[in-house]
Amino acid sequence: MDKQTLRQRVWDDLEESGDARFPFPPHGRIPNFADADAAADRLAETAIWADADALKANPDAPQLPVRRAAMRAGKTVYMAVPRLRDERCFIELDPAAVDDIDDATTVSGSSEAGVQVGPDEMPAIDLIVSGSVAVSERGARIGKGEGYSDLEYALLRELDLVDDETPVVTTVHERQLRDHELVDEHDVPMDLVVTPERTVETATPYDRPDGIDWAALDEDRIEEMPVLEARRP
- DSSP character for 160? T
Percent above pLDDT 70 for the chain: 100
Report d(CA 212, CA 150) in Å as an integer.
9
Going by the DSSP 8-state scheme, the letter that residue 97 receives in this structure is: G
CA angle 229–230–231, rounded 5-degree value: 95
The predicted-structure confidence for 16-30, as pLDDT tens digits, reads as follows 999 999 999 999 999
The predicted pLDDT at position 175 comes to 98
- What pLDDT, in 10s, does the model give residues 186-217? 999 999 999 999 999 999 999 999 999 998 89
Q: What domains, with CATH codes, occur in the chain? A: 34-212 (3.40.50.10420)
Residues 149, 189 contacting (CB under 8 angstroms):
no
Higher pLDDT, 230 or 166: 166
Please report the pLDDT score of residue 147 as a whole number.
87
CB 24 within 8 A of CB 16: no
User: What pTM, to 2 d.p., does this model score?
Assistant: 0.96
31: phi then psi, degrees, rounded to nearest 5: -75, 135
**pLDDT tens-digit series, residues 88-129:** 999 999 999 999 999 999 999 999 999 999 999 999 999 999
